[in-house]
Chain A
């Protein structure tokens, strides 16, 4: 069980690290767009959409890693005062009741959403008309990674609970 949790964490860590570099092309594309518009008076047809796609991938692929590193905001004023064992039990309960079903369904439905899009090789209705289906797939991957980060936490809490006996 610990191996599974370790594998998930490693996957999220790597994805989080590499996807965080997407901020650099994001800056680059926007600057390039400004540059060609003012200097050559020739705005690109693709700058706007590419910018949005980069931003979307940037945060979607990092959600899991942010969960792994406990970056997401939570109100732990009560939780922090509990005994470690009780805290672990509470965390397992909230994870199973709040996180797993909701994020699980979000992941499943974003996979369905992506599959539908791939099925018709969906393109945007704009002048550049880029393919949309890869980005819907990225969104699905992002939600799966986020969901897995929660699963990893659950496994770790189970392990902590068992070894604390």
Chain B
């Protein structure tokens, strides 16, 4: 069979097989196995020698070492309950404003996104903490659901970020090293957070019903008390941000080392917070292993898929088709992002990255796109995969952890404007590439 037929067959089978509900990692590997065997004339030993060699390559991939470390850090932090204190402080400080609690949720999520690299724990924590609070204060339910899910999801973009580590581990390019990607993601992450803040602030200022302020008689804290609470609650997260992002950007530590420093910092914090018990360590270790295995299983399955796909010439088929139509480069960029966005409705970020990055990166190079810029466009776009119905992880995390008064309809309705803001952010990054490239050039030079 020609590579063209095999390419269509491979994606057709993959999509059909995914819908059957079997774990994605195995489905990716099985689809690749079938197509690989058709391609090489059913030479089983040759294919599995290739696959096993590849699995060993994943075992030795130093870039990915930071994944379990960042996950462990997030799990310990989650159990140390540091985000609660900051939320309580901001609840008091911003509660008097229209939509103030919504703004508080976004600020807390942004700060903690800068200490964790995963999404699950932060969305669950925010849903448990802010879900009931916003409900009690009479905030609009769809908007509250949108605020919590979308800002909780910032953790996957704002560095440190597992998504960026996986991207770096996948491409192995110097331009898209973990350090460069982390530096590049800071401004886009803050821009997105700023969009959320502006949107919630403006909507609530115009419509009192969406986010009513806390009544005057309940606002008893003095200005001094507020300042104290705020500063006290910001010390732990900023210490961690300094330990992790500070050391990476200053070039003092590799991302893996910074992750270990962060994990140690989180343990020290737990010690201060008196949540450091053997049970806590045990629970954090086990959750870390499960989440790590989930990501790594996808890495193994996705790697098998892309190795087979590329070795049978599928990459050239996609590249020739896309480039052969002689579109404007931005049109090709748009099409690639459209694919990522649509895939994001159904499958999660790791599987998408593993399938599309090996295919798209050569195309982006062909079009002379800056690899770092291209990576960041894809990654900001990928954030939507957590939020787009029918299958968005953050929506499920929220639904599972927030009070039952929030219906799935509220969640779907509330998330739409925030998805719009993310796409707006992608457009801004296309128009002003400096948002992405400025910080990497400051910290690491060109």
| Bound CA span A80–B21, Å | 9
For chain A, give the interface size range: 35 or more
Within 8 A of A (CB), among B12-30: 17-27, 29-30
User: Which residue on chain B has the smallest CB distance to residue A37?
Assistant: B257
Are A59 and B62 in touch, CB under 8 angstroms? no
Within 8 A of B (CB), among A1-39: 16-17, 19-21, 23-24, 26-27, 30-31, 33-34
Are A60 and B59 in touch, CB under 8 angstroms? yes
Q: Is A48 an interface residue (CB 8 A)?
A: yes
Q: Which residues of A contact B59 (CB under 8 A)?
A: 52, 56, 60, 135, 139
| Bound CA span A24–B26, Å | 29
| Bound CA span A26–B69, Å | 8
User: Which residue on chain B has the smallest CB distance to residue A29?
Assistant: B260
- In the assembled complex, the CB of B60 is this many whole angstroms from the nearest CB of chain A, namely 6
Are B293 and A63 in touch, CB under 8 angstroms? yes
Are B51 and A52 in touch, CB under 8 angstroms? no
| Bound CA span A135–B257, Å | 22
Q: Is B261 an interface residue (CB 8 A)?
A: yes
Q: Which residues of A contact B33 (CB under 8 A)?
A: 101-102, 105
Task: Give A58-74 as 1s and 0s: 1 = Cβ < 8 Å from B's Cβ atoms.
Answer: 11101101110101111
Q: Which residues of B contact A67 (CB under 8 A)?
A: 23
Task: Give B251-273 as 1s and 0s: 1 = Cβ < 8 Å from A's Cβ atoms.
Answer: 00100110111011000000000
Are A63 and B286 in touch, CB under 8 angstroms? no
Q: Which of A24, A62, A78, A106 contacts B21 (CB 8 A)?
A: A78
Are B29 and A20 in touch, CB under 8 angstroms? no
Given contacts A16-B289, A72-B294, contact A106 B52 (CB under 8 A): yes
Q: Which residues of A contact B64 (CB under 8 A)?
A: 55
Q: Is B166 an interface residue (CB 8 A)?
A: no
Are B20 and A90 in touch, CB under 8 angstroms? yes
Q: Is A120 an interface residue (CB 8 A)?
A: no
Q: Which residues of A contact B351 (CB under 8 A)?
A: 73
Are B24 and A74 in touch, CB under 8 angstroms? yes
Are A59 and B68 in touch, CB under 8 angstroms? yes
| Bound CA span A76–B22, Å | 8
- In the assembled complex, the CB of B349 is this many whole angstroms from the nearest CB of chain A, namely 10
Within 8 A of A (CB), among B31-88: 33, 44-45, 48-49, 51-53, 55-56, 59-62, 64-65, 67-69, 72
Given contacts A24-B281, A74-B23, A98-B27, contact A110 B390 (CB under 8 A): no
| Bound CA span A5–B257, Å | 40
| Bound CA span A26–B292, Å | 13
Q: Is B297 an interface residue (CB 8 A)?
A: yes
Q: Which of B18, B289, B346 contacts A23 (CB 8 A)?
A: B289
Are B21 and A58 in touch, CB under 8 angstroms? no
Are A98 and B293 in touch, CB under 8 angstroms? no
Given contacts A24-B281, A30-B257, A52-B60, contact A98 B55 (CB under 8 A): no
Task: Give B264-307 as 1s and 0s: 1 = Cβ < 8 Å from A's Cβ atoms.
Answer: 10000000000000000100011011111110111000000000
Are A110 and B257 in touch, CB under 8 angstroms? no
Are B260 and A34 in touch, CB under 8 angstroms? yes
User: Which residue on chain B has the smallest CB distance to residue A28?
Assistant: B260
Q: Is B310 an interface residue (CB 8 A)?
A: no
Q: Is B347 an interface residue (CB 8 A)?
A: yes
Q: Which residues of A contact B296 (CB under 8 A)?
A: 59, 63
Are B285 and A20 in touch, CB under 8 angstroms? yes
Q: Which residues of B contact A79 (CB under 8 A)?
A: 20-21
Q: Which residues of B contact A80 (CB under 8 A)?
A: 21
Are B65 and A75 in touch, CB under 8 angstroms? no
- In the assembled complex, the CB of A44 is this many whole angstroms from the nearest CB of chain B, namely 13
- In the assembled complex, the CB of A13 is this many whole angstroms from the nearest CB of chain B, namely 10
Q: Is A94 an interface residue (CB 8 A)?
A: yes
Are A74 and B21 in touch, CB under 8 angstroms? yes
- In the assembled complex, the CB of B109 is this many whole angstroms from the nearest CB of chain A, namely 23
Are A31 and B62 in touch, CB under 8 angstroms? no
Given contacts A34-B260, A62-B289, contact A103 B24 (CB under 8 A): no
Are A23 and B68 in touch, CB under 8 angstroms? yes
| Bound CA span A24–B27, Å | 32
| Bound CA span A135–B55, Å | 12
| Bound CA span A72–B301, Å | 11
Q: Is A113 an interface residue (CB 8 A)?
A: yes
| Bound CA span A53–B130, Å | 40
Within 8 A of B (CB), among A111-125: 112-113
- In the assembled complex, the CB of B169 is this many whole angstroms from the nearest CB of chain A, namely 12
28 contacts between A and B (CB under 8 A): A16-B289, A21-B285, A23-B289, A34-B257, A51-B65, A51-B256, A52-B59, A55-B67, A59-B289, A59-B293, A60-B59, A65-B293, A66-B294, A71-B291, A72-B294, A73-B25, A73-B351, A77-B19, A79-B21, A91-B21, A94-B21, A98-B17, A105-B33, A106-B48, A106-B55, A108-B48, A110-B52, A113-B56
By Cβ-Cβ distance, the 3 closest A-B pairs, closest first, are: A79-B21, A20-B289, A30-B260
Having A55-B67, A58-B289, one finds 5 other A-B pairs with CB under 8 Å, namely A26-B65, A67-B23, A73-B298, A113-B53, A139-B56
